[in-house]
């Protein structure tokens, strides 16, 4: 058995006025609980350090940039890195990244047990729109504030396994998991911020949205025979509800843990990476069974 004790650290809402320092203090509290529960790796949500700011329409670039991190770690986040190293715990969290040459990405990082950043991922599938849309019940301006990620879907050797990252909307796309599956991924970690309400289809209730969350994550895990850890930022941010439902799914596609609140909540599961072998060597032995001569259309349009 090769076990990673993984903590899904769901976070409750972060209000617009909350400081990075206050959020990091909350993240450390979650990390301490994860440590007490034996975690080797803690997974936090997408844009874990701030409110989900793409719901706000902004024209002033200085205001936009105030939501971004120019360095990682930086002074506000350093205490989280320090506590993780003290606990010998790897971590994954999302943040808005502003590069030295002025690029804006929706980014996630993966650290090792000593808080060294060993992997970086930039969100590929950006949902939403670029301009203010008066027809929507709320805005979702990721296409305005971020560029599509330029790093693809790499995987990293960490904690004795092969780990990949995705971010929120990526989890709905089979290509996300398959590109990592083709690199032998054993665990995919991802964070999300998903409104409880569809801005363009009010009749779609939160139950249906939670169903699509489970469906996407369970399918990705099963079809690539890997663990998937999907972690929400949830609850009501300045009047805007985000659903919870953080999940840990095994390589059979079965949910083994699911959050029950919309607040700060830690789920810890012992994930045996060797449990990925059976699926990878039988029904999803890609080298034997895939028929790539018929898949060209996927990358040509």
Q: How far is the CB of 206 from ligand CDT (least distance, A)?
A: 12
3-state SS string for 170-201? HHHCHHHHHHHHCCCCCEEEEEECCECCCCCC
Q: What angle do CA 117, 120, 122 make, to 5 degrees?
A: 155
Q: Is 120 a catalytic residue?
A: no
User: What is the pairing mode between strands 227-232 and 247-249?
Assistant: antiparallel
- Listed ranges 58-66, 110-118, 190-198, 245-253: which one lies at the site for ligand CDT (CB under 6 A): 190-198
Cβ proximity to ligand CDT, 39 vs 232, nearer residue: 232
- Our CA dihedral for 279, 247, 176, 43, rounded to 10 degrees, sits at -110
Which residues are CB-contacts of 1 (< 8 A; sequence separation ≥ 6)?
272, 274
Q: Please identify which residue in 104, 122, 172, 240 interacts with ligand CDT, judged by CB under 6 A.
A: 172
Please report whether residue 240 would count as binding ligand CDT according to CB under 6 A: no
Please report whether residue 50 would count as binding ligand CDT according to CB under 6 A: no
Q: How far is the CB of 198 from ligand CDT (least distance, A)?
A: 7
Please report whether residue 234 would count as binding ligand CDT according to CB under 6 A: no
Q: Is 226 a catalytic residue?
A: no
Read off φ and ψ for residue 41, nearest 5 degrees. Answer: -140, 135
# residues contacting ligand CDT (CB under 6 A): 10
- Listed ranges 65-73, 89-97, 143-151, 164-172: which one lies at the site for ligand CDT (CB under 6 A): 164-172
Q: How far is the CB of 56 from ligand CDT (least distance, A)?
A: 14
Please report whether residue 156 would count as binding ligand CDT according to CB under 6 A: no
Q: How far is the CB of 124 from ligand CDT (least distance, A)?
A: 11
| Tokens read off for 251 | 């390589």
- Listed ranges 192-200, 233-241, 261-269, 284-292: which one lies at the site for ligand CDT (CB under 6 A): 192-200
Please tell me which residue in 35, 97, 142, 168 is annotated as part of the active site.
Answer: 168
CA dist 254 and 227 (Å) reads 10
Cβ 191 vs Cβ 233: under 8 Å: yes
Tell me the CA end-to-end span of the chain in Å, nearest whole number: 41
Q: How far is the CB of 122 from ligand CDT (least distance, A)?
A: 13
The DSSP secondary-structure symbol of 11 reads: B
Cβ 55 vs Cβ 81: under 8 Å: no
Q: Please identify which residue in 35, 55, 87, 140 interacts with ligand CDT, judged by CB under 6 A.
A: 140
Please report whether residue 127 would count as binding ligand CDT according to CB under 6 A: yes
Please report whether residue 193 would count as binding ligand CDT according to CB under 6 A: yes
User: What is the pairing mode between strands 104-111 and 90-98?
Assistant: antiparallel
CA dist 195 and 271 (Å) reads 29
Residue pointed to by tokens 């793409």: 54
Q: How far is the CB of 128 from ligand CDT (least distance, A)?
A: 5
Which residues are CB-contacts of 76 (< 8 A; sequence separation ≥ 6)?
19, 20, 21, 24, 49
Please tell me which residue in 35, 97, 123, 265 is annotated as part of the active site.
Answer: 123
- Listed ranges 2-10, 68-76, 167-175, 290-298: which one lies at the site for ligand CDT (CB under 6 A): 167-175
Active site (catalytic) residues: 46, 123, 168
Residues at the interface with ligand CDT (CB under 6 A): 46, 127-128, 140, 168-169, 172, 192-194
């Amino acid at each position: 058995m090769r076990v990673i004790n993984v903590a899904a650290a769901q976070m409750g809402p972060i209000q617009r006025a909350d400081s990075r320092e206050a959020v990091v203090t909350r993240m450390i509290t979650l990390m301490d609980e994860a440590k007490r529960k034996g975690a080797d790796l803690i997974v936090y949500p997408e844009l874990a350090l701030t409110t989900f700011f793409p719901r706000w329409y902004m024209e002033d670039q200085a205001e936009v940039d105030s939501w971004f991190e120019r360095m990682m770690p930086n002074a506000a986040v350093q205490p989280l890195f320090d506590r993780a190293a003290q606990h010998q715990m790897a971590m994954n969290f999302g943040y808005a990244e502003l590069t030295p040459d002025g690029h804006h990405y929706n980014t996630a990082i993966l650290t090792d047990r000593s808080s060294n950043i060993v992997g970086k991922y930039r969100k590929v599938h950006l949902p939403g729109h670029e301009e203010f849309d008066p027809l929507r019940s709320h805005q979702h301006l990721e296409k305005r504030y971020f560029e599509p990620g330029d790093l693809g879907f790499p995987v990293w050797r960490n904690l004795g396994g092969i780990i990949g990252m995705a971010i929120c909307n990526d989890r709905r796309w089979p290509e996300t998991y398959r590109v990592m599956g083709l690199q032998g991924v054993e665990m995919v970690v991802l964070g999300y911020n998903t409104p409880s309400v569809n801005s363009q289809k009010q009749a779609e209730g939160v139950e249906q949205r939670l169903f699509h969350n489970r469906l996407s994550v369970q399918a990705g895990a099963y079809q690539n025979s890997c663990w998937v850890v999907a972690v929400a930022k949830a609850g009501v941010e300045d009047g805007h509800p985000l659903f919870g439902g953080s999940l840990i799914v095994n390589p059979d596609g079965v949910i083994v843990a699911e959050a029950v609140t919309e607040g700060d909540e830690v789920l810890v599961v012992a994930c045996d990476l060797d449990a990925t072998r059976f699926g990878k060597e039988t029904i999803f032995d890609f080298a034997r069974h895939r028929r790539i001569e018929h898949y060209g259309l996927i990358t040509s349009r």
